[in-house]
Chains A and B, each alone.
Chain A
């Protein structure tokens, strides 16, 4: 090594300087610097050949100063011990007790305050000679820092009497015992480390870590550079344990490389537990069926099925299916086989639609898009067409027009077989109108599905479709159930007409969604579209049974008018989204601020309590929760009193930033409510998807 400037003069300067900062060179088992008192202690008062003993270096540190762990963090230096023995004995490595962490500005360090004992195991050789004591010398180097840092060195020595084999004597060494207690435990929890593009997620399937008593969780890596230690480690609860967000450091892990370190969980009661983890990095696309197990897949399939059944009761789905059920009653004279076939075709329609949705999701995912459930509502086009659909179905139910034999016509055409296409498209329609209603059951299953490889995603979606189709299929294939249904009559017509109103209500809601997404212009356009559609329906209705020339004109009119309605949508697609910035400007007067990852990070860094609400105009349960819980005076007041910053993320339109944080919490859609308690150590608490003022208050209790 080239080293030109290393002169005698400099060496002398150095000796002088080291001499000043190192007042201690005594042949004793204890030595002190102004900041640290070091003591060499032994687990045994008398040692014998072949035994294992433990030597400890106890450091008593001045308050507010600290020494460092095996990985000191962003700065600092690990404490080292150089051993010398009068007989050939080999010392093991220091077994490091659980460290603390210290944050100074942007720098995070790992180490010890007040007092720590560093134990070193010693395997005594079988040929250790009894009689003469074993002379032990330890040269201990540490860096002690408050804000400024001082490197220090002491030399400690200890004589240990050597006795005959088997006659060794232990001595009370509570400091060593304590240090050996404060060790990370080996655990058998399933642990995964997933990552891409510098962001890593450490998933630990340990429900005890998700316990509310655990107040602070931090992962301490053994090596520098694998993760950026100064980055806030955001911990979230998952269904099976916790997820910790980490960031890659300056020497990032390669796929397959292990990240060894200690996970430390502190409880309210100041109880501290450490766990040794050593997960290998998987890239996100890599699947790991062995580790997640089939259980969770089966559970997801079951939940999807149950969620699908619940969808039947959703306000938009129920009318569509009721009509279908009514037509079934009308067809009660049909043969049993025919009925079952109708049910199966309907089921096929539902399942095909769900598979199509799953394939779209798979493609979008493959293209790298950030997608979540309800994503289709982020397209103005989709919402527009859905609005028209709801309105048109409503007009149909109201009897403004009928298609083909129509439902109202079935009474007089009992002999007609209802078309299979009709059943198939009822299935498709049921799926389309069901998509915005993410039943609580489905949130978990869909979140799981979106994170899984394509085949599993498709299986879960099929299960969801089967769930949706199941009640109707049951009805068509179970004659006993059909007998329970009331007899046909005029009440059917009234029921059908009544069901038009939920459809109109759904259309109104969608118009409002459009207003949120696209602004006032969209409202005018979509309402004009309604007029055109109503006009088309009317032309269509009056021209039924007309002569062929008039029918031609009428059909041309319908096509023209519907074309105009669609044309309005195109016009809208040209206008950029303007609503959002305006809304955010208004929000300054509200008690919430728009969400951004940076804002959240800076608030958390300041240790402020934060309440997150992720919502979308098309998410009904989100809006209900806001109305009945989050905007209630007692909740608003509690937020104010506790100084909670209320951040709201609007997912009405596409927003990659929000999709990212939803994914972090294992969600694929809204709503999501999270509370970060005050203090840097605060672990985020997820609130249920259905809120009441009381439930919100109970979660944000300090």
Chain B
């Protein structure tokens, strides 16, 4: 009986390993970030594993959300993306808006949208079924997660500390992404590893 059980479990395990392109675990600070493999805007695949060795920023987005507009139309996020590329940090835009809901885009639309906003994320991951978003517990747009080169989650929360949709608040705000980058560069502990995310709710399918 036991052998049969082990056999069954192994079979199930294999099946999961082979057929899933989804995600595992939970997003907990100082723990390995949930692994995922997602479809990118250009139709390719991106797995978090393949980015090991580099710092990764995950940014949940919805271009119609006023909070996201604040950070794109002011040039704040595009600038962060440029700076990330210069520092060899991988910026991944994740879109978890379900089909038919606000902010849902096709790969081509996403690319065009970024061009029009002079935004240059390293990758755009389309997550219309919300699997990656829900594995990370992403709630808002924007919602930021930062993974260190070892694959450990070092930050989750808001993009900065002033939760408004007002552009004039940007110069006064403490940008948490830059704070994390500085801490990682100095080999220091991230000062605010978990902060309040703010923005629109992510438009999940359910």
Contact = CB atoms under 8 A, between A and B. Distances in A.
User: Are A and B genuine complex partners?
Assistant: yes
Interface of A: 1-7, 10-11, 13-14, 17-18, 21, 74-78, 104-107, 109, 141, 143, 145, 147-151, 224-225, 230, 250-251, 576, 578
A76 to B, nearest CB: 7
Given A74-B140, A147-B102, A3 B202 contact: no
Contacts of B79: 3-5
A17 B73 contact: yes
A105 B205 contact: yes
Contact of A77 (B163, B173, B174): B163
20 contacts: A6-B74, A6-B76, A6-B171, A10-B75, A14-B73, A21-B66, A74-B139, A74-B140, A75-B201, A76-B201, A105-B205, A107-B204, A147-B101, A148-B65, A149-B200, A151-B165, A225-B194, A230-B139, A251-B194, A578-B1
Contact of B167 (A14, A145, A230): A14
B112 interface: no
A74 B156 CA distance: 13
B172 A1 contact: yes
B173 A1 contact: yes
A107 B201 contact: yes
Given A17-B69, A74-B139, A77-B164, A1 B201 contact: no
Contacts of B197: 74-75
Contacts of A21: 66
B75 A6 contact: yes
Given A105-B204, A105-B206, 7 more contacts: A1-B172, A5-B76, A6-B75, A11-B167, A76-B201, A145-B201, A250-B194
Interface in B161-206: 163-167, 170-175, 178, 194, 196-206
A5 B74 contact: yes
B171 A109 contact: no
Contacts of B140: 74-75
Nearest to A1: B171
A10 B168 CA distance: 11
Given A4-B79, A5-B78, A75-B201, A250 B156 contact: yes
A10 B171 CA distance: 13
Contacts of B134: 106
A6 B172 CA distance: 12
A147 B203 contact: yes
Interface residues of B, number: 46
A6 B164 contact: no
B172 to A, nearest CB: 7
> Interface centre among A75, A106, A109, by most B CB within 10 Å?
A75
Interface string B95-109: 000000110000000
Nearest to A109: B201
A147 B205 CA distance: 12
The 4 closest A-B pairs by CB, nearest first: A5-B75, A5-B79, A151-B165, A105-B204
Contacts of A225: 194, 196
B50 interface: no
A6 B79 CA distance: 9
Nearest to A9: B75
Contacts of A18: 167
A1 B175 contact: yes
A1 B169 CA distance: 11
Nearest to A16: B73
Nearest to A198: B28
Nearest to B2: A576
B157 interface: yes
B64 interface: yes
A453 to B, nearest CB: 31
B75 A74 contact: no
Contacts of A149: 65-67, 199-201
A459 B170 CA distance: 63
Nearest to B98: A105
A230 B194 CA distance: 17
A151 B75 contact: no
B174 A1 contact: yes
A2 B178 contact: yes
A205 B64 CA distance: 47
A230 B1 CA distance: 41
A5 to B, nearest CB: 3
Contacts of A3: 76, 79, 170-171
A75 B200 contact: yes
Contacts of A77: 163-165, 198
Nearest to A77: B163
Contact of A14 (B65, B74, B157, B173): B74
A224 B196 contact: yes
A225 B193 CA distance: 12
Contacts of A104: 201, 204
Contacts of B156: 250
A576 B171 CA distance: 66
B96 to A, nearest CB: 10
A10 B175 CA distance: 19
Given A105-B206, A250-B156, A10 B164 contact: no
A317 to B, nearest CB: 38
B201 A576 contact: no
Given A74-B140, A75-B140, A6 B170 contact: yes
A251 B202 CA distance: 21
> Interface centre among A17, A147, A149, A150, by most B CB within 10 Å?
A149
Interface in B54-78: 64-67, 69, 73-76, 78
Contacts of B67: 149, 151
A1 B170 CA distance: 9
Nearest to B78: A5
A406 to B, nearest CB: 46
A225 to B, nearest CB: 6
A18 B168 CA distance: 11
